[in-house]
Structure 1
Amino acid sequence: MSSSESQYAKNHFGLNRWILTYAGLWVPDTKSKIAIFFFRVYAAIVFLFVNVWFTSTEFISIKDTKHDWELLIKNINFALTHMMGAFKCVFWFVRGNRLVNIIVRLQDERWHYEAVEDFNPGAITQDAKRTGIKYTFAFFMLAHMTLSSSYFPAFFTAVFRPHYVEDANGNLTFSQSLPYLSWIPFAYDTPLSYIIAILYQAGPMWSYAYSIVGMDTLFMNIMNYIAAHLLILKGAFRTIRQRCVRRVAERGGALEIREGLANSPELDAEMHREMRKCVQHLQTVINSCEELEFNHKYLTLGQILATLFILCTSLFLVSTTPVASSKFAAEGVYMIAMGFQLVLYCWFGNKVTVRASEVPDSLWHSEWLQAAYSFKTSMLITMIRMKKPLYLTVGKFAPLTLTTFVAIIKASYSFFAVLKKVND
């Protein structure tokens, strides 16, 4: 492997794998059968208790809040979020291997290129890796801030300032509502039982955070990696001749004939091989994008619809909550987290579309004038192919771009305005 190739980023999806492993989804990299067995047991417990049992209890509690408009909205919001988390877990068990196959194809070392002039593919992959880690960590922290802003105040209140109410006989009874509404299979009418109820509820909530963040950022990071490959291909197409000239010169071969009006046969053959490699690389990227779109489009549609409803109703809850209260902070952080989740989908989907549209221009600047007829033919066919936009969609209804993001934000605000007017 050349020094330029050694600069390529390694373990691009390491943080995503770590999060998904703790979520009980991604099997850890180990040859120990005992470790794998315990992980399987852990994954089964998490899935059955969190995604099946606990999610269903959240919907059961909806009937208890039907007379309280704000509690009902909040309950539906979290039930929708966690239902999408359960769907993502099921999706991983059914089609997760297809996402892994896409990652493996994109990480193939056949698609490595040497650096030349201002083209440094290793630096592109390093930058893409840093971007993936940054956005993954940001979403991970937002999810934890959402839960912490709700559970820590409730926990400290129960420990240091428990709330009691006096009945008609003068007896004091502990009374404190849980941060989120879900059916609890035992009474929590004492500070100790209330703390146990918080732990019973917080465990699944943190598990949801890992599975949702892990799945969403994995999807985001695959789009990020596809965009990085398209950026590399732009440079690879543009510098085909320079890289081939360097190789032929290092072998001591002839570069041009007829006073520079045409390439030598040796240089033409090298450029043809390099063009073939670049085209195969581009086709692999296109196929990976199309496969990601085919497998993820309906999950994306469900997430976008859920986010549309959640953003609208979260804005309503924030607008009706006192600014100085801890509840306002919890609702605000939750709304920001859901908005950031939408940004991840649309921003990186848009990046794929934009990078793909720039490939034909890079081909045009590939110093093709002296190349052979076969090279020019391949170049033209590739440019024509790339006229067709490359994008992911929201269930085939709309492209996953910034335009769609703006449309969702506008729709959320419109629905919020209607909801606010009806409530007033």
Structure 2
Amino acid sequence: MLQNMFKNNGFQSKNDFFFFNRWILKIAGLWLPDSKNWYVQFVYKLYAFTELISVYCIFVISEFISLFYNHSHDLNGFMKNLSFGLTDLLASGKVVFWYVNRDKLRGIIRRLEEDQLKYERCEDFNPEDMFYRYKIFGVKTVGTYLGFSYLVILLSFAPPILSTLKVLITNEKFEPDPLPYNPEFPFNYDTPKMYLVALLFQGTTMFSRVQNIIGLDSLIINLMNFMAYHFTLLQQAFLKITQRKLQRQTSL
């Protein structure tokens, strides 16, 4: 069913093998839009710069400030929040890796997407169906990876958001729970509205981080998937080389 859906919606070019990955990375601010309009490019670069600064500079720095400011005498709290901080620092390293090596990765993708690597159909050798099988496998893998990550964010932030909204509606006494993550904010969040602001900042930051981490990891995963497709395609093409040669001769 997915294979027919892709075909019916025009996803027939090999250039679309990574369309899901590109979509994730564009939201993450790591893949420029296809439009060549200078205004679109400028707005997107501004968005990407703002997102990266807020997620990987302000938020990460605030995590380590909170780590030493609030947990210097609490070993359990220190180790717990240190793990979060190091995870975010590792995510920052992935973004740096992308900016350093993105031209090489894009070059590999462009090379694998060239039309010269296409083969004609011959008997039971069907490159198009093989392409869609690998493509759908990549979409399912990336979608599952992304879906579980979104689920983690939802389970982390939905309970405090709902409980705070309930307080705002019913005017009950507000007793803020600890935030899902523990950065240091330059404001107090001891009121329901400010607590929601803190949750919103954390939630959008975590969403951006998920887009970055999942986008980069899934790109590498799907790149290996695409390479596996080409190896299988090449193997089948060699097995059918005689039949393909005869087919070409008879078609002349």
Give the TM-score normalised by the residue count of structure 2.
Answer: 0.87
Answer with 211-220 or 57-66: which moved more. 57-66
Give the letter for the 2:43 counterpart: F
Note the C-alpha offset of 1:50. Answer: 1.0
Residue of structure 2 equivalent to 1:414? none
Which residue matches 1:214?
A: 215
| Structure 1 letter corresponding to 2:230 | H
**Unpaired segments of 5 or more residues in structure 2?**
1-10
> Structure 1 240/219 Cα, relative in aligned 2: closer, same or farther at 3 Å?
same
Task: State the distance in 2 between where 1:176 and 1:11 align.
Answer: 45
Q: In the aligned structure 1, how far is the partner of 2:74 from the partner of 2:133?
A: 49
Aligned partner letter, 2:61: S
Match of residue 116 from structure 1: 122
Any idea what the Cα deviations from partners look like across 1:173-194, whole Å, max 9, x if unmatched?
A: 7342111111111111111111
Q: Pick the structure with greater CA Rg.
A: 1
**1:176 & 1:7 partners in 2: Cα distance?**
50
Q: For 1:61, give the aligned amino acid.
A: S
Asked whether the 8 Å contact 1:151–1:179 carries over to 2, the reply is: yes
What residue number does 1:128 align with?
134
User: 1:73 deviation in Å?
Assistant: 4.0
Aligned-partner SS, 1:47: helix
Aligned in 2, Cα 1:126/1:21: closer, same or farther, shift over 3 Å? same
Aligned residue pair count: 237
Q: Secondary structure at the match of 2:164?
A: helix
Give the Cα separation in 2 of the matches to 1:10 and 1:203: 31
One-letter code aligned to 2:103? N
**1:300 counterpart residue number:** none
CA displacement 1:295-326 (0-9 Å, x = unmatched): xxxxxxxxxxxxxxxxxxxxxxxxxxxxxxxx
Whether 1:38 and 2:43 are equivalent positions in the alignment is yes
Q: Which residue matches 1:240?
A: 241
Distance 2:45 2:78 in 1: 36
Q: Does 1:55 align with 2:60?
A: yes
Deviates more, 1:241-250 or 1:66-75: 66-75
Aligned to 2:8: none
* 1:126-157 Cα deviation digits (max 9, x unpaired): 11110111111111111111111011101112
Alignment partners' CA distance in 2, 1:73 and 1:147: 21
Q: 1: distance between equivalents of 2:197 and 2:13?
A: 48
Q: Which consecutive aligned stretches of 4+ in structure 1 deviate over 4 angstroms post-superposition?
A: 6-10, 66-70
Deviation digits for residues 209-248 of structure 1, max 9, x if unmatched?
A: 1111110111111000000000001101111111112222
- 8 A Cα contact 2:167 2:192, kept in partner: no
Query: Which residue matches 1:302?
Result: none
2:5 alignment partner in structure 1: none
Residue deviations 1:313-356, cap 9 Å, x none?
xxxxxxxxxxxxxxxxxxxxxxxxxxxxxxxxxxxxxxxxxxxx
Q: Take 2:195 and 2:141, find their aligned partners in 1: how far apart are those partners?
A: 35
Distance 2:12 2:24 in 1: 26
- Amino acid aligned to 2:22: R
| Alpha-carbon shift at residue 84 of structure 1 (Å) | 2.0
For the residues of structure 2 that align with 1:91 and 1:234, how far apart are their CA atoms?
A: 33
For 2:108 and 2:32, the matched residues in 1 are separated by 17
Indicate conservation of the 8 Å contact 2:119/2:237, yes or no.
yes
Is the CA contact 2:28–2:208 (under 8 Å) kept in the aligned structure 1? yes
Q: Pairwise CA RMSD of aligned residues?
A: 2.0
Distance 1:118 1:69 in 2: 64
Q: For the residues of structure 1 that align with 2:104 and 2:65, how far apart are their CA atoms?
A: 34
Q: Distance in 1 between matches of 2:174 and 2:243?
A: 81
Pick closer, same or farther for the CA change 1:7–1:202 going to 2, 3 Å.
Answer: closer
Structure 1: gaps (5+ residues) = 1-5, 163-171, 252-424
- 1:97-112 alignment, distance < 5 Å: 97-112=103-118
In the alignment, the residues of structure 1 paired with residue 159 and residue 12 of structure 2 have an alpha-carbon distance, to the nearest angstrom, of 47
Q: Does 1:197 align with 2:198?
A: yes
